[in-house]
Amino acid sequence: MALQPAAGARDLNPREVDGNRWLCDRLAEVYRQWGYAEVAPPVVERLETLAAGGGIQERELVRLAADEPLGLRPEMTASIARAACTRLAGRPRPLRLWSSGTVFRTATSDTGQHRLDERLQSGVELLANPADPVSAAETELLRLLLACLRRLEIGSRQQPTLLVGHHGVLTALLDQVPAEQRTTTRQALISYDPLSLAALDLPGHQRQGLQQLMRLRGEPEAVLYQLEQQLGPIPLLAHLAETLKVVAPVAQAQGVRLQLDPSFQPHYDLYDGLVLKLVCQGPEAPVAVASGGRYDGLVRRFGEATSGLGFSFDIEAIRELLGTEATAPQRPAALLVAYRQTARLAEALDLLERCHAAGDRAELLHRPCDTEAEAAAIAAQRGCAGVRWLG
C-alpha cells in the first residue's frame, strides 16, 4: 500500500483547507459585487475542448482512459467559454461568470518522467457585448483584479507587479520581420533568449531593434512612447493607452507596480489580445499569483463573434505568500462532551446536540472517564475550550 500521494498531489491539513476556503470566499464576495454569477465547469472534458484550439499542448494535458478522448481540465477558461456559447448562449451580453476549483496539469521532470501538478484556482470570465468598446471590458477586468487584491489585503508589503502585454502589439512588431523568421523571433522574444535572437539571420539594424525590444518594459507611458516611434500612432496603442490610463492611478494607490512589456506572453497560448500576470515578492523568490487575458479566437471557435476575457488566481500560491495563519482565521475551540459510564452514552449524545443547537462547537469523547479532572486533561490535550461532564 502506497504511503505517499502521487507526485505533484498533496495532502492538505485542516488549517491549509481553511486558508484556501477563506481566500476563495473573499474573492467570491468581490466577484458577486461586480455582477458575476458562479458556474461549475466539469473536471473531465473532451481533449478537443481542453486543447483550446491548440492554445494548450496535448503533452500538458492529463489524459483519462476512456472510450472517447477525455482529460482533466488544466484550466477553466475553455470549458466556461464552451458553456457560455452553447447552454448560456441565450443570456444577454456582457455575460459575467466566475468559478473556483482544482485544475490538473502535467510537467516533465529532469529525468523525463511526467509529473502531475494539482492546483486550486479561482477566477472570472467576461463575455463582452460585440457592440460595446473592447477597452471597456479590458478596463473592467483590470480594475476587478485590483479590487480582488484589496479584498485579499495584498499591497506594497508584497511588492506586487501587474505585468501587461498585448498579443496584437507583439504581432505588429513581428510583422517587420521576414515571414520565415517570425516564429523563431517570437519564441526568442517571449522566452527572453538573447542568444537565439543574436543567431537569427537578420540585418544588423533589425537584430539590434529586436534586442532593444526584448529589453523594452517598464512604466506604461514611456513604453507606449517607444512603441509609437516604431509602429506609428496605430489605434491599438491608443486603446491600450486609454485602458492603462484608467487603471494606473488605482494601481499606484494600492502599491501595485504597473509594467507594460510588449514581448510578454503567458505560458498557455490561449490569448490573442491583452495579456496579464500578477507577480508578488515571496520570502525567497517572486511568486506568480494571477494570470489571464483576452481570448476572442477561442470564443469564435465555439461559434460566437464576441470578445472573451478573464483571469484566474492561484489560491495556494496566495496562501503560501500570505501565510496560512493570515489566510485562515482561527476557529473557536470546541467543547468536549465526556461521561463517566458507558450507559450514559445516549445522554452524552443528547447533550452534544443541545450544544450544537445553541450554536456551540462540541465533540464527543468516545470512552468513559473516571473523573472530570481526567476529562479536562484530555480536553486540554486536544485543544478544546472546556468540558461538559456527565458524572
Task: Give DSSP secondary structure letters for 357-388.
Answer: HTT--EEE-SS--SSHHHHHHHHHHHT-SEEE
Q: Are residues 322 and 341 in the same domain?
A: no
**Cβ burial 342-356 (10 Å sphere, 16+ → b, else e):** eebeeebeebbeebe
Non-local CB neighbours of 321 within 8 Å, separated by 6+ positions: 154, 158, 280, 282, 287, 289
At 109, is the secondary structure helix, strand, or coil? Answer: coil
Kindly state whether residue 213 falls inside one of the protein's structural domains. Answer: yes
The Cα–Cα gap between 383 and 17 comes to 19
- Among the candidates 302, 327, 352, a domain finishes at 327
Kindly state whether residue 66 falls inside one of the protein's structural domains. Answer: yes
Nearest C-alpha neighbor of 145 from the set 23, 257, 290, 271: 290
Cell of 205: 539594424
Residue 283's region, left for phi above 0, alpha for psi from -120 to 50, else beta, is alpha
Kindly state whether residue 376 falls inside one of the protein's structural domains. Answer: yes
Residue with cell 486603446: 239
Identify the DSSP state of 35: T
Q: Are residues 87 and 20 in the same domain?
A: yes
Kindly state whether residue 9 falls inside one of the protein's structural domains. Answer: no
Kindly state whether residue 7 falls inside one of the protein's structural domains. Answer: no
Please tell me the total count of domains within the chain: 2
Nearest C-alpha neighbor of 256 from the set 294, 227, 205, 290: 290
Helices and strands: H and E segment counts in the chain: 15, 14
Q: What is the pLDDT of residues 51-81, one digit of tens each?
A: 887 778 877 888 888 888 999 999 999 999 9
Kindly state whether residue 6 falls inside one of the protein's structural domains. Answer: no
Q: Are residues 319 and 347 in the same domain?
A: no
Q: Are residues 97 and 245 in the same domain?
A: yes
Instruction: Provide the pLDDT for residue 327.
Output: 82
Kindly state whether residue 3 falls inside one of the protein's structural domains. Answer: no
Q: Are residues 188 and 120 in the same domain?
A: yes
- Among the candidates 327, 346, 372, a domain finishes at 327
Task: Give DSSP secondary structure letters for 228-292.
Answer: HHHH-S-HHHHHHHHHHHHHHHHHHHTTPEEEE-TT---SSTT-SSEEEEEEEE-SSSEEEEEEE
Instruction: Provide the pLDDT for residue 105.
Output: 86
Give CA separation, 284 vs 227, 320, 322, in Å: 34, 12, 13
Which segments of the chain have a pLDDT < 70? 2, 108-112
Q: Are residues 19 and 57 in the same domain?
A: yes
Instruction: Provide the pLDDT for residue 9.
Output: 75
Q: Are residues 141 and 67 in the same domain?
A: yes
CATH number of the domain that residue 343 is part of: 3.40.50.800
The Cα–Cα gap between 148 and 124 comes to 11
Determine the residue type at 90.
G
Segments forming the whole domain that contains residue 385: 335-390
Q: Are residues 283 and 368 in the same domain?
A: no
Q: Are residues 245 and 278 in the same domain?
A: yes
Instruction: Tell me if 258 sits within 8 A of 252, measured CB to CB.
Output: yes
**55 burial class (0-12, 13-18, 19+ CB within 10 angstroms)?**
buried
Q: What is the pLDDT of residues 142-157, one digit of tens each?
A: 999 999 999 999 999 9
CATH number of the domain that residue 288 is part of: 3.30.930.10
Q: Are residues 31 and 52 in the same domain?
A: yes
Q: Are residues 341 and 292 in the same domain?
A: no
pTM: 0.90
Q: Are residues 207 and 353 in the same domain?
A: no
The Cα–Cα gap between 216 and 286 comes to 20
Task: Give DSSP secondary structure letters for 208-223.
Answer: HHHHHHHT--BSHHHH
Cis peptide before 69 (omega within 30 of 0): no
- Among the candidates 327, 355, 379, a domain finishes at 327
Kindly state whether residue 4 falls inside one of the protein's structural domains. Answer: no
